Structure 1
Amino acid sequence: MNKFKGYNITIAILFLLLFSECSSKKAKANNKIAFADNCVVAHRGAWKKMGFPENSIASLKHAIELKCTGSEFDVRMTADDSLVINHDPHYNNLPIESTAYTDLLKFKLSNGEKLPTLREYVLAGIENNISTRLVCEIKPSEISKERGQIVAAKVVQLVKELKAQDIVVYISFDYDILKKIRTLNPTVSLQYLEGNKSPEQVKADGISGLDCHFSVFKEHPDWIESAKKNNITLNAWTVNDPNDMDWLIANGFDFITTNEPELLKERIKLSPVSNGMKLIWSDEFNTKGLPDSTKWNFEEGGHGWGNGESQYYTSRPENANIQNGILSIKIIKENYKGSSYTSARINTKNKFSFKYGKVEMRAKQPSGGGVWPALWMLGDNKAAVGWPACGEIDIMEYAGNRMNKVTAALHHPDHSGANPDGGYTMITNADTEFHIYTLEWTPSDIKISVDNQHFFVFANSSSIPFNHDFFLIFNCAIGGHYGGAIDPNFSSSNFDIDYVRVFQNK
């Protein structure tokens, strides 16, 4: 009797364990996928910081641990039709498409893993994962277009077999591969990598996203707004520079593919977008030649501008020119219309003005005794009420005679001219490195900073003229009461501006 009792207890325990395991699997299967609320896609997994091999299961697992919204990987097919994960067409100098998988297995990844199959990779990717998309790049075949179509069909079938359709999205440089996948799965997310088709074109062909090198979007900035209007998802690759990250975050990209997921997550935290703000206006200076005339006006003349300055402002490309994503306002020593120097001054008057928000500008100062660059704002009611009643916000002023000293000032009827409210800070390498100059403007206060460090805070109120629309002004003067004595050996110098962005609360 006792033996049977013990036997029954053992059976009961085994049954409970089996029931528990089945229940756990069922629970996992029923878990609703809620992808991480960020734009971070780890390129070939999160491999760089930890030293994992690219496209390894270890790098995939780490991307999931980081809760990236996506982890990208590359699929190729071997000579014996095995679907494997590898970016390059060769693995250990063996051409994947003409080599059997058993021969590829002779060589390990640097962390000891074997070259993973797609089945192994997807199974690892769906285990304990409800936050990270598996971004599957199907590589075009080097053998034939038809083989690429076959690979696509096999990948889709395997993903379906593994019940991973809800977590896998597809990307490819081969447009026909994506169109083939669309016929096999009408609802799956597809993103095109090449960058030679507009949002309207991909939408017409049933492709749901553009996933282009970030430079493509700088060359076609209109695609960003067009994609949003057409409900086309935006992804950019491979973005490792924090300045490029900031630009894409500010422009509301759905996904950003990077080798630096940890860095990208930090940049997201610092972005105004993460604090409930929206980009309402910007100039990234990604065109060539003169500044965009739909955004900027030139102010011309050489009358000293009320400050005893020595330059003549022109609208020539010699004094204001965009190249390689940088607007250079160049001050030149030359005789021009009665002045000994030329430069440029541009503004957004009657083209863009705003009340309250955050302004970010990334700039590098000119050098030389007497130079006087400024990034500033005037109330757009100046013509009606005059200065200083309109108000003036100097976000950044700099003088070459006071190297590395950056000042900010507010001019209004109680404090103007040589007696504004203001402050200053010292920075390093002002004329050899770019720095970020920021204004945060609300009904209650005005804060000005350099490189995210506040150095001037002022209490705003209804009694002073900082509660109406202002427009932007960029210029570089020389001499005058602020610029001071001009170095007799000065010949020319550039005031370089990388971008200006204006954010407001949503």
Structure 2
Amino acid sequence: MKKIGLFATALQFLITPVTFAMKTIHENGLAKNGIVAHRGAFKTNKLPENSIASLKNAIALKCAGSEFDVQMTADDSLIINHDPKYNGLTIEKTAYAELKKTPLSNGEHLPTLQEYLSAGLKNNWSTRLVLEIKPSVFSKERAQQVTEKVIKMVHRLGAAPMVVYISFDYDVCKKVKTLDPKAQVQYLNGDKSPEEIKRDGLDGIDYHFSVFQKHPDWIPQAKHNNIVLNAWTVNNAAEMDWLLANRFDFITTNEPELLAERIKINPVAKGWKLIWSDEFNTNGLPDTTKWGYDVGGNGWGNNELEYYTKADTSNAVVRDGKLLIIAKKENKEHNTFTSARLVTKGKGDWRYGRIEVSAKLPIAKGTWPAIWMLPTDWKYGGWPASGEIDIMENVGFMPDTVFGSVHTKSFNHVIHTQKTKGFYLNDADKTFHVYAVEWNKDRIDFFVDAHPYFSFSNTGKGFAEWPFDQKFHLILNVAMGGNWGGMRGMDETLKQAVMEVDYVRVFQQ
């Protein structure tokens, strides 16, 4: 204990100029894009993971951080490698000279921490060095020794302003804070709440993204407690978009270039803030706090063939992260199909915002899936006077086209004045696409993925043309047949049609 106390005291002399340096670096352009390259930016250029070349590439890309893994050899050399073995040799049982004999795939030798940090500091004013201290395969005590050596080297090289520490070993994280109270430290293992992290004086949670899906309440809890949010290892667009929508501080990825593209087109980059969502992460019936049902089989004004059921998992069920709306061929109350028509409830109505739904559609002759909105209060009278917003409709006899439309008293299909436009999409039944509207007091813009294809403007002539100054709620359904869906008949062999919904997100500015 006496030795540790002396070391901690000695560090105070190093930390004083570091605080000033950190402020200076931040003011001079540390990247704020939130992209952390996992083991460096290695994948696109086929570089070795944890190589100095992959680190330099992350810096060249101006990632917010570049992550790397530190372990200690049998002769107490600190080296960079993820796995406990290198070329079949256990790192903690092998001297560095022996490990160094086998080069990385690009010809580099296995880098030491000193070499790695020195390379990371050279001409780098944008990219934090995210240093992971690996747990020891031998003992907790050895992991503590590694931590002491790492902190000493970081400060000796003047790298402290650029380093963020992470570890799966909670005691290692706390040890870093004991030795350097100014250090930024994030925990990796996913078993501590943000409140526990704050209580123990750590700075962030850097968990696998699935942990946050299981504990979505940890996201606002972290923000409330000023705990940094990071997620790993996130390599596809859907997961990236969810984390961006929830305003994570950092995202660790093997695909930094893809993440940079998702950041550019994400609603958050345009000033939108997520206010309501359902990611469908709990199996069973849809969340009853968010969804209700329209029930019945009276043709729904369109001579449709389905009966909409209530809370029946054969027609609406969440399974493996997706909401399935299932139209089934079965008789119910003089109808030849059953299906579901889900409506948002509670706080699920909005005036203005960006409403987006990621969905994969059923396409067969007679199907009519829809993502749409109706007014909550019907202030201007019954349909169509109070308005309707069709974010996406498809009819199975036109499989390669989706439509966006509005209905008002002056503009509707009954009097042949409806405002609508189609978007060519030849894989709507094979791929999830994002169907969205951006709605404000002046106009409604319609999108498929990032592509705007239709806009309806407020003419200023009153509610007959613009009733869209009231709250609307969202509806998801699969209709069968009807005036439009069945215009060219039905596929008589069709037994069921399924619309899969990956998520629903609502943003406001």
Structure-2-length-normalised TM-score: 0.91
2:365 aligned residue: 369
**Residues 1:357 and 2:347 aligned together:** no
1:412 aligned residue: 408
2:479 aligned residue: 477
- Cα distance between partner residues in 1 of 2:436 and 2:211: 27
**Residues 1:397 and 2:359 aligned together:** no
Per-residue CA distance 1:407-456 (angstroms, 9 max, x = gap): 11111101224432111122112212211112121222211121222222
- Retained in 2: the 8 A contact 1:443–1:461? no
2:501 pairs, out of 473, 492, 497, with 497
The residue correspondences of 1:330-479 to structure 2 (distance < 5 A) are 330-382=326-378, 385-418=381-414, 419=416, 420-462=418-460, 463=462, 464-479=466-481
Counterpart AA for 2:70: V
- Cα distance between partner residues in 2 of 1:110 and 1:370: 56
- Cα distance between partner residues in 2 of 1:413 and 1:349: 26
2:4 aligned residue: none
For structure 2, the 5+ residue unaligned runs are 1-19
Per-residue CA distance 1:56-98 (angstroms, 9 max, x = gap): 1111111111110000000000000000000011111111000
Return the offset for 1:30: 9.8
Counterpart AA for 2:63: C
Provide the secondary structure at the position in 2 that maps to 1:433: coil
- Retained in 1: the 8 A contact 2:71–2:91? yes
Counterpart AA for 1:176: D
- Retained in 2: the 8 A contact 1:440–1:446? yes
- Cα distance between partner residues in 2 of 1:402 and 1:67: 45
2:162 aligned residue: 167
2:173 aligned residue: 178
Counterpart AA for 1:252: R
For structure 1, the 5+ residue unaligned runs are 1-26
1:10 aligned residue: none
Counterpart AA for 2:421: G
The residue correspondences of 1:4-19 to structure 2 (distance < 5 A) are none
**Residues 1:103 and 2:98 aligned together:** yes
Per-residue CA distance 1:255-304 (angstroms, 9 max, x = gap): 00011111111110011111122112111111111111111111111111
Change (3 A) 1:187 1:337: farther
Counterpart AA for 2:499: F
Change (3 A) 1:30 1:284: closer
Counterpart AA for 1:129: N
Provide the secondary structure at the position in 2 that maps to 1:180: helix
- Cα distance between partner residues in 1 of 2:189 and 2:331: 50
135-144 vs 447-456, which deviates more? 447-456
1:488 pairs, out of 492, 495, 505, with 492
The residue correspondences of 1:225-236 to structure 2 (distance < 5 A) are 225-236=220-231
- Retained in 2: the 8 A contact 1:445–1:459? yes
- Cα distance between partner residues in 1 of 2:436 and 2:125: 38
Provide the secondary structure at the position in 2 that maps to 1:218: helix
Change (3 A) 1:216 1:322: same
- Retained in 2: the 8 A contact 1:380–1:390? no
2:232 aligned residue: 237
Return the offset for 1:350: 4.1
The residue correspondences of 1:323-334 to structure 2 (distance < 5 A) are 323-334=319-330
Counterpart AA for 2:71: R
177-186 vs 139-148, which deviates more? 177-186
Change (3 A) 1:30 1:432: closer
Counterpart AA for 1:334: E
- Retained in 2: the 8 A contact 1:332–1:493? yes
- Retained in 2: the 8 A contact 1:289–1:323? yes
- Retained in 1: the 8 A contact 2:296–2:307? yes
153-162 vs 334-343, which deviates more? 334-343
- Retained in 1: the 8 A contact 2:371–2:476? yes
| Higher-Rg member (1/2) | 1
The residue correspondences of 1:68-87 to structure 2 (distance < 5 A) are 68-87=63-82
- Cα distance between partner residues in 1 of 2:195 and 2:22: 37
Return the offset for 1:29: 10
Counterpart AA for 1:32: I
74-83 vs 474-483, which deviates more? 474-483
- Retained in 2: the 8 A contact 1:328–1:496? yes
Return the offset for 1:150: 0.9
Provide the secondary structure at the position in 1 that maps to 2:161: coil
1:11 aligned residue: none
1:210 aligned residue: 205
255-264 vs 294-303, which deviates more? 294-303
- Retained in 2: the 8 A contact 1:372–1:400? yes
Counterpart AA for 1:146: E
Provide the secondary structure at the position in 2 that maps to 1:306: coil
Counterpart AA for 1:449: F
Counterpart AA for 1:494: V
- Retained in 2: the 8 A contact 1:442–1:460? no
Return the offset for 1:338: 3.3
- Retained in 2: the 8 A contact 1:349–1:380? no
- Cα distance between partner residues in 2 of 1:170 and 1:237: 15
492-501 vs 343-352, which deviates more? 343-352
1:13 aligned residue: none
1:198 pairs, out of 180, 190, 193, with 193
Per-residue CA distance 1:30-50 (angstroms, 9 max, x = gap): 953442011100000111112
Per-residue CA distance 1:471-505 (angstroms, 9 max, x = gap): 11111111111210222111012111111111222
Return the offset for 1:152: 1.0
2:285 aligned residue: 290
Return the offset for 1:384: 6.9
2:59 aligned residue: 64
- Retained in 1: the 8 A contact 2:380–2:467? no
Provide the secondary structure at the position in 1 that maps to 2:115: helix
Q: CA RMSD in A?
A: 1.7
Per-residue CA distance 1:356-381 (angstroms, 9 max, x = gap): 22122111111322111100011222
- Cα distance between partner residues in 1 of 2:246 and 2:22: 36
- Cα distance between partner residues in 1 of 2:345 and 2:459: 24
Per-residue CA distance 1:72-128 (angstroms, 9 max, x = gap): 000000000000000011111111000001111111111111111111111111112
387-396 vs 28-37, which deviates more? 28-37
Provide the secondary structure at the position in 1 that maps to 2:494: coil
1:306 pairs, out of 271, 286, 301, with 301
